[in-house]
Structure 1
Amino acid sequence: MLRIIGGEWRSRKVPFPETEGLRPTPDRVRETLFNWLQNITPGARCLDLFAGSGALGLEALSRGAESVVFIDSSPAVVRQLRTNLNTLKSQHGEVITASAINWLESRQTDTETRYDLVFLDPPFRKDLLPLICELLEKRNLLADNAVIYIEAESELSQLVVPGNWEESRVKTAGQVTYRLLFRQPASTT
Structure 2
Amino acid sequence: MMRRFPLASALALMATLLSCSLAFAQGGRPNDLSEMHAGFRGINWGQSISDIQGRGIQFGGFEASGSAINVPVQGGTAMNVNNIPVKMSFTFIDKKFGGIVIVPADESKAKDLTAFFIQQFGAPVFMDQVSQRNAWQDDKITIIMRETNKVITFIIMNNDIFKKANLPVEDYVAKGKPLTSPKPGGI
> Structure 2 length normalisation: TM-score?
0.26
> Structure 1 length normalisation: TM-score?
0.26
In terms of Rg, which structure is larger? 2
Which structure dedicates a bigger proportion of its chain to strand?
Answer: 2
